[in-house]
Structure 1
C-alpha cells in the first residue's frame, strides 16, 4: 500500500469514528488534505508578564484579595510572598482552597519570595534555616508553586563576614537537594546591596560550582545596577539559568551607591536600559517570566486596583517593545 493510500485510510477511519456522522465526498477530501499537512504549533512567547506581590504589599490586602486584584487587572502569573501565604493558612485557609481560588481566577504562582537563612556560616542557625526552608517549600508545593527565591539572607551586612563562594556553592547545593525532595526549586537571587552575592559573577559562580542540574539564578534590573554588574555579561548566563527575571526601573540622577529598594518605579518611567537587558536574555523557543517588583510608597498610597492595572499596562508595553 502506498503512503498516500495509508494517509487516506487513516483520515477516513478517523472520520468514521464519529458516531452518526455521514462521510461526504467534501469531508473525505478535506480529511485527506489535512492528513498531509503538518501540525501548526503556536510559538512559545519569549516573555510573560507577572506581578510580584511586593508591588501591592503596602496595601495589606491578604493572600486572596491580592490574587483577586491582580486577576482583574489582567495578570495570569504572580510571585507570592511566603509570609502572606502562611498568614492565610494560619487564618483557616487550606492549600486545597487556595488551589481552587487560583484555578477560578486563572492565576499561576510562578515563584515565591521567602527569607530562610540558608547561606550563613553558623551551623546551628543554618540548620534552623534549612528546616524553615523545607517547611516553606512543602507549603508552596501544596499550592502548586514550583520555585522559590534564595537570597543571601543573614549575610548582607557590609560589616559582616565575606563568605567563601565555594562554601556558598556547597550550601546552595544542599537547598537544591531539598528542592529535589519537595519539588520546589530554589533560585539563587542577586541582591545588589548585599555584602555577598551582589554581582552577577558571584551568583553565576555559585550556581555553576554547585554542580546541580537544577541550579538557577534570579536576576533583577535594579539589583544589576545597584551591585555594579556589567550588562554585557548577561549573554554569558545562558538560556538554562534564567526562568524568572525581576523587572523595574529607576529614576535618573540616582547613583547606585545611594539608591534604595523604595526608589524603584514602573518599567518605562526611569532610565534603566530595560530593552537592552531583555534583548540580551531573550532566547528563541523559551519563555521567561518577567515579574514586576517594586516597593514604591507612592504606589502604596494609591488604590490597589489602580496600581495593579497600571502595572499590567506598563508590562504589556515593555514586552511589546522588545
Structure 2
C-alpha cells in the first residue's frame, strides 16, 4: 500500500512570479502537505520588507510544512577558497531556514567539481554535513543528470559510502535519473532511510535525453517515464516520505497558479496512488 505525502516545489510556480507568502497560500489551498521553497525567493521577500516570523506564522496558520529548501551554495569546488565561502553561505542559509521551521536543504553539484575525484567530493560532503548536524539540519545529496561529475545515482551512492557517514539521504529525481543515464532498477539498492525527498515529474520521448531541457519536464503521467515502476520501488522500500512536484514549465496557457498546483497534485495521486 502506497503511503506517500505530497509537496510542491515552488519552481513549478515560477511563471507566476509569486512571493513566498503567495507560494505557500497556493500550495496550502491546493491541498499539499508540504512545500519546497527556494532560498532566493525567501531572500527576495525579506529584501521587500517581509519577515521570517511572518513566513513561519503563515505556514503554521495553513498547516503546511517547509520540507526542504533549494539553494546552490558551492559546498564542493576545485577552488578551496570558493568551497570555504560556500560553506559559510551554507551555514548562513541554514540559520535562516531554521527560523521558518525547515530542517533540510538540498546539496546539488553546483560547484566546479569536474576535476575532483569522487573521494574528495565525499570529504567535502562530510564537512557540509558536520556543519548541518551542528545546527540540527539535514542535507540531501542531489545529483544532476547533465552535470559532468555527480550525475548519476551510482556516483551519489559512491560519495555517500566514501563519506564515512552512516545516514546519508538522497534527493532523487526521475528527470535527472533519465538525463544522466541512471538505471531505475538501481532504486532497488536503496531503502526508505536513504531518501530525503523524491522529486516527481515526467518527460517526453523527444527531444532525446541529451537534448532535453528542464523546461520540457511534464506533469507525472504525461510522458514516458516508468512512473509505475518507480512507485513500486518506493512502496517496496516502505518509503513514506514526500513526493514533491518539481517542474520548470515556462507557460501554462490560461491556467492560474492555483489551477496548476491543483492539477499537479491530482496527477501525482493518479500516477503514484493508482489504486486509491
Smaller-chain TM-score bracket = over 0.9
Answering whether residue 261 of structure 2 is matched by residue 292 of structure 1, we say: no
Q: Decide whether the 8 Å contact of 1:140 with 1:184 is kept in 2.
A: no
Q: 2:231 aligns with which of 261, 271, 278?
A: 278
Indicate the SS of the match to 2:220: coil
Q: 1:181 aligns with which of 134, 138, 148?
A: 134
> Could you say which structure has the larger radius of gyration?
1
Q: 1:224 aligns with which of 164, 177, 187?
A: 177
Which residue of structure 2 aligns with residue 79 of structure 1?
A: 36
Answering whether residue 161 of structure 2 is matched by residue 208 of structure 1, we say: yes
Q: 1:316 aligns with which of 265, 269, 273?
A: 269
Indicate the SS of the match to 2:195: coil
Answering whether residue 79 of structure 2 is matched by residue 122 of structure 1, we say: yes
Per-residue deviation, 1:286:
4.3
Per-residue deviation, 1:316:
1.8
Q: CA RMSD in A?
A: 1.7
Question: Residues 115 and 300 from structure 1, CA distance in 2 versus in 1: closer, same or farther, beyond 3 angstroms?
Answer: farther
Moved more, 87-96 or 221-230: 87-96
Per-residue deviation, 1:91:
2.4
Structure 2: 5+ residue stretches without partners: none
Answering whether residue 13 of structure 2 is matched by residue 51 of structure 1, we say: no
- Measure, in 1, the Cα distance between the counterparts of 2:3 and 2:259: 27
**How many residue pairs align between the two structures?**
275
- Measure, in 2, the Cα distance between the counterparts of 1:300 and 1:174: 45
Per-residue deviation, 1:232:
1.3
Q: Decide whether the 8 Å contact of 2:7 with 2:242 is kept in 1.
A: yes
Q: 2:222 aligns with which of 269, 284, 301?
A: 269
Per-residue deviation, 1:258:
0.8
Per-residue deviation, 1:284:
5.8
Answering whether residue 100 of structure 2 is matched by residue 143 of structure 1, we say: yes
Question: Residues 303 and 48 from structure 1, CA distance in 2 versus in 1: closer, same or farther, beyond 3 angstroms?
Answer: same
Q: Decide whether the 8 Å contact of 2:206 with 2:212 is kept in 1.
A: no
Question: Residues 146 and 99 from structure 1, CA distance in 2 versus in 1: closer, same or farther, beyond 3 angstroms?
Answer: same
Q: Decide whether the 8 Å contact of 2:6 with 2:242 is kept in 1.
A: yes
Indicate the SS of the match to 1:282: helix
Map 1:14-93; keep pairs closer than 5 Å.
46-93=3-50
- Measure, in 2, the Cα distance between the counterparts of 1:308 and 1:78: 11
Answering whether residue 153 of structure 2 is matched by residue 196 of structure 1, we say: no
Moved more, 199-208 or 251-260: 251-260
- After superposing on structure 2, the runs of 4+ consecutive aligned residues of structure 1 that deviate more than 4 Å are 283-286
Question: Residues 237 and 155 from structure 1, CA distance in 2 versus in 1: closer, same or farther, beyond 3 angstroms?
Answer: farther
- Measure, in 2, the Cα distance between the counterparts of 1:283 and 1:306: 32
Q: 1:164 aligns with which of 111, 117, 124?
A: 117
Moved more, 206-215 or 117-126: 206-215
Indicate the SS of the match to 2:251: helix
Deviations 1:215-242 (A, max 9, x none): 1111101110000011111110222111
Q: Decide whether the 8 Å contact of 1:239 with 1:283 is kept in 2.
A: no
Deviations 1:124-144 (A, max 9, x none): 111111111110111111111
